[in-house]
Amino acid sequence: MLEAAIRKYQNRAIEAAAVIEELIQLAREMRSAEGRGHDLGLSDDEVSFYDALEVNDSAVKVLGEPTLITIAHELVESIRSNVTIDWTQREAVRAKIRVAVKRILRKHGYPPDKQERATQTVLQQAELLCADWVE
C-alpha cells in the first residue's frame, strides 16, 4: 500500500496531502492488524500463517477460527523445529517441511482441494520469516 501511494505521488496522480492521508490510513490498518493478532492470542509469526490459511474462505467456514488458530500454532512449532540455515536450498529439508505442513492441514480437516495452495502459501511465508528462526 505504501508503494502504491508513493507511485501515485511520483506519477502526479495525487498531491502531497493525499499521500499523507494514505499514510495515516496505512498506519491505522497496521495498528489494527497488530491488535488482531493479540486478540486472537497469536504471535506475529503465527498471525502470518493464520492469514495465509484464512485466504481460503471455504476453510474459514468449514474449520472456524479456533481450528485455524490451532493450525497456526502447530505450523510455527513444526516449521521452527525443521528449519536449518540452508533449508531453502536443500530440497530434502523443504520436502520434510512440506510433508509436515500437509500432515497438520490434513489432521485438522483442512479442505483437501485447497491443501496444495495452502501448503505453498505457508512455505512462502516460512521463507520470509525463517531468517530469524535459524539458530
pLDDT in tens, 51-74: 778 776 777 777 888 888 899 889
pLDDT of residue 74: 92
pLDDT of residue 87: 67
Which one is predicted more confidently, 88 or 117? 117
Q: Which amino acid is at 10?
A: Q
CA atoms within 13 A on the CB side of 25: 10
C-alpha cell of residue 130: 525463517
Domains in the chain: boundaries: 2-36, 41-132
pLDDT of residue 4: 76
Residues 6+ apart with CB under 8 A from 133: 79, 80, 83
Q: Indicate the pLDDT class of residue 107, thresholds 50, 70 and 90.
A: very high
Residues in the chain: 135
Does the pLDDT value for residue 104 go beyond 60?
Answer: yes
CA nearest 22: which of 31, 14, 34? 14
**Confidence (pTM):** 0.65
What 3-state DSSP class applies to 49? helix
